[in-house]
Structure 1
Amino acid sequence: MSNESPSPKTGRQPSGATNRPDASASNTPTSNIPTSDAAAPDVSASGAPTSASPYTHDRQYAPGTPDAEVAELIGLFGSRRNDAFAARYHLTRRNKLKRLWQIARIANQFDVIHGLTPVKMRLMLEALGPTFVKVGQILSMRSEILPQAFCDELAKLRADADPMPYQTVLETLSSEYGRPIGEIFEHIDPTPLGSASLAQVHRATLLTGEDVAVKVQRPGVRETMAQDVSIMRSIARLATRVMPSAQVVDLGGVVEELWDTFESETDFLVEARNLAEFKRFCQPYVYMDCPKPYMDLCTEHVVVMDYVEGISVSHPEQLIAAGYDLKEIGTKLVDNYATQVLDDGFFHADPHPGNIIIAGGQIVLIDLGMTGRLNAKTRSVLKQMIFAVAKQDSPALADGLLRFAGTESDASDYPALLADLDTIVAEYGTVDLKDLDLASFVTALTQLAQRHGIEVPSTVTTVARALVTLEGLLDEFIPDVNMIEIISEHIATSKPLDRAAADEVKSLGVEAHAALHGLLGALCETKVAARMLTRGQLRVNMELAGAEEPMRMLSEMVNRLTMALIVVGLYVGSSIVYFAGVPPIVFGIPVVGFMGYVVAFVLSVWIVFDIYFKGRRSRKR
Structure 2
Amino acid sequence: MIRTARNLSRLFQIARVLARHDALFPLEDVPALRELIGVARAVYRRPAEGRPGQRLARAFAELGPTFIKLGQALSTRPDLLGEEVAADLTYLQDKLQPFSFAEARAIIEGEFEQPLESLYSSFDETPVAAASIAQVHFAVTPDGRPVAVKVLRPGVEQQFRRDIALFYWLARLIERVQPHLRRLRPVDTIATFEESVNIEMDLRFEAAAAAEMSENFEGDETFRIPEIDWQRTSRSVMTQERITGISLDEREKIAAAGLDPVEVITRAANAFFNMVFRDGFFHADLHPGNLFVQADGVIVAVDFGITGRVDHETRRILGEMLLGFLTGNYRRVAEVHFEAGWVPADKSVDAFTQAARSIAEPIFGKPIQEISIARLLGQLFAVTETFSMETQPQLLLLQKSMLLAEGVGRVLAPEINMWELAQPLITDWMRSNLGPEARIKAAVVGTARSLEKLPSILVQAEQAARMISSEGLKLHPDTVREMARQGALTAGRRSLFPAWLPWALVVALLGILLSR
TM-score of the superposition, structure 2-length normalised?
0.77
Residue 123 of structure 2 is aligned to residue 188 of structure 1: yes
Q: Which residue of 1 is the match for residue 147 of structure 2? A: 212
Shift in Å, 1:326: 0.9
Q: Which residue of 1 is the match for residue 27 of structure 2? A: none
Find the aligned partners of 1:493 and 1:252 in 2 and give their Cα distance.
Answer: 39
**1:454-469 correspondence runs (5 A):** 454-455=389-390, 457-469=392-404
Worse overlay, 227-236 or 204-213: 227-236
Q: Which residue of 2 is the match for residue 531 of structure 1? A: 480
After superposition, what is the alpha-carbon deviation per residue over 1:337-383, rounded to whole angstroms, capped at 9, x for unaligned?
11111111111111111111012421001111111111111111222
Find the aligned partners of 1:428 and 1:104 in 2 and give their Cα distance.
Answer: 38
The residue matched to 1:145 in structure 2 has which SS?
helix
Find the aligned partners of 1:366 and 1:461 in 2 and give their Cα distance.
Answer: 21
Find the aligned partners of 1:503 and 1:172 in 2 and give their Cα distance.
Answer: 53
Find the aligned partners of 1:506 and 1:277 in 2 and give their Cα distance.
Answer: 30
Aligned in 2, Cα 1:357/1:388: closer, same or farther, shift over 3 Å?
Answer: same
Find the aligned partners of 1:133 and 1:511 in 2 and give their Cα distance.
Answer: 47
Q: Which residue of 1 is the match for residue 410 of structure 2? A: 475
- Aligned 8 A contact 1:392 1:429 in 2: no
Q: Which runs of 5+ in 1 are unaligned?
A: 1-73, 79-92, 521-526, 538-621
The residue matched to 1:76 in structure 2 has which SS?
helix
After superposition, what is the alpha-carbon deviation per residue over 1:80-130, rounded to whole angstroms, capped at 9, x for unaligned?
xxxxxxxxxxxxx6xx67755543432342353459922221111111111
Q: Which residue of 2 is the match for residue 331 of structure 1? A: 266
Q: Which residue of 2 is the match for residue 418 of structure 1? A: 353
Q: Which residue of 1 is the match for residue 386 of structure 2? A: 451
Q: Which residue of 2 is the match for residue 274 of structure 1? A: 209
After superposition, what is the alpha-carbon deviation per residue over 1:144-202, rounded to whole angstroms, capped at 9, x for unaligned?
32222221111111221111111111011001111112211111001111111211000
Q: Which residue of 1 is the match for residue 3 of structure 2? A: 76
Worse overlay, 130-139 or 383-392: 383-392
After superposition, what is the alpha-carbon deviation per residue over 1:182-227, rounded to whole angstroms, capped at 9, x for unaligned?
2111110011111112110000011121110000001110110001
Find the aligned partners of 1:178 and 1:141 in 2 and give their Cα distance.
Answer: 41
Shift in Å, 1:394: 1.3
Shift in Å, 1:441: 2.6
Find the aligned partners of 2:98 and 2:181 in 1 and give their Cα distance.
Answer: 39
Q: Which residue of 2 is the match for residue 117 of structure 1? A: 52
Residue from 400, 413, 416 that aligns with 2:336: 400
- Aligned 8 A contact 1:345 1:375 in 2: yes
- Aligned 8 A contact 2:18 2:56 in 1: no
After superposition, what is the alpha-carbon deviation per residue over 1:288-308, rounded to whole angstroms, capped at 9, x for unaligned?
111111122211111110000
Shift in Å, 1:279: 1.0
Greater helix share, structure number: 2
After superposition, what is the alpha-carbon deviation per residue over 1:379-423, rounded to whole angstroms, capped at 9, x for unaligned?
1122222222222221222233333325x7356310111122232
Shift in Å, 1:493: 3.0
Shift in Å, 1:76: 1.4
Question: RMSD in angstroms over aligned alpha carbons?
Answer: 3.5
The residue matched to 2:383 in structure 1 has which SS?
helix
Shift in Å, 1:475: 2.5
**1:7-406 correspondence runs (5 A):** 75-77=2-4, 99-100=10-11, 102-111=13-22, 112=24, 113=37, 117-241=52-176, 247=182, 249-361=184-296, 362-405=298-341
The residue matched to 2:246 in structure 1 has which SS?
strand
Find the aligned partners of 2:205 and 2:358 in 1 and give their Cα distance.
Answer: 43
Find the aligned partners of 1:503 and 1:367 in 2 and give their Cα distance.
Answer: 38
- Aligned 8 A contact 2:257 2:295 in 1: no
Aligned in 2, Cα 1:368/1:478: closer, same or farther, shift over 3 Å?
Answer: same
Find the aligned partners of 1:457 and 1:173 in 2 and give their Cα distance.
Answer: 39
After superposition, what is the alpha-carbon deviation per residue over 1:222-276, rounded to whole angstroms, capped at 9, x for unaligned?
1100011122333444555556566554443333232222211111111000110
Work out the number of aligned pairs and report it. 443
Find the aligned partners of 1:147 and 1:463 in 2 and give their Cα distance.
Answer: 18
Aligned in 2, Cα 1:252/1:336: closer, same or farther, shift over 3 Å?
Answer: closer
Aligned in 2, Cα 1:330/1:509: closer, same or farther, shift over 3 Å?
Answer: farther
Aligned in 2, Cα 1:447/1:102: closer, same or farther, shift over 3 Å?
Answer: closer
- Aligned 8 A contact 2:192 2:393 in 1: no
- Aligned 8 A contact 2:338 2:344 in 1: no
Q: Which residue of 2 is the match for residue 548 of structure 1? A: none
After superposition, what is the alpha-carbon deviation per residue over 1:318-353, rounded to whole angstroms, capped at 9, x for unaligned?
111111111111111101211111111111111111
- Aligned 8 A contact 1:272 1:293 in 2: yes
- Aligned 8 A contact 2:77 2:86 in 1: yes
TM-score of the superposition, structure 1-length normalised?
0.64
Aligned in 2, Cα 1:120/1:373: closer, same or farther, shift over 3 Å?
Answer: same
Find the aligned partners of 1:127 and 1:185 in 2 and give their Cα distance.
Answer: 35
Letter in 2 for 1:371: T
The residue matched to 2:79 in structure 1 has which SS?
coil
Q: Which runs of 5+ in 2 are unaligned?
A: 25-36, 46-50, 461-474, 487-516
Find the aligned partners of 2:211 and 2:483 in 1 and give their Cα distance.
Answer: 62
- Aligned 8 A contact 2:246 2:254 in 1: yes
**1:562-601 correspondence runs (5 A):** none
The residue matched to 1:286 in structure 2 has which SS?
coil
Letter in 1 for 2:307: T
The residue matched to 1:172 in structure 2 has which SS?
helix
After superposition, what is the alpha-carbon deviation per residue over 1:446-469, rounded to whole angstroms, capped at 9, x for unaligned?
213443233353333332332232
Find the aligned partners of 2:432 and 2:10 in 1 and give their Cα distance.
Answer: 57
Shift in Å, 1:503: 6.9
Decide which structure has the larger Cα Rg and report it: 1
Higher RCO structure, 1 or 2 (CA under 8 Å, sep 6+)? 1
Letter in 2 for 1:183: S
The residue matched to 1:448 in structure 2 has which SS?
coil
Percentage of pairs with the same residue: 25
Aligned in 2, Cα 1:137/1:476: closer, same or farther, shift over 3 Å?
Answer: closer
Letter in 1 for 2:480: R
Letter in 1 for 2:316: S
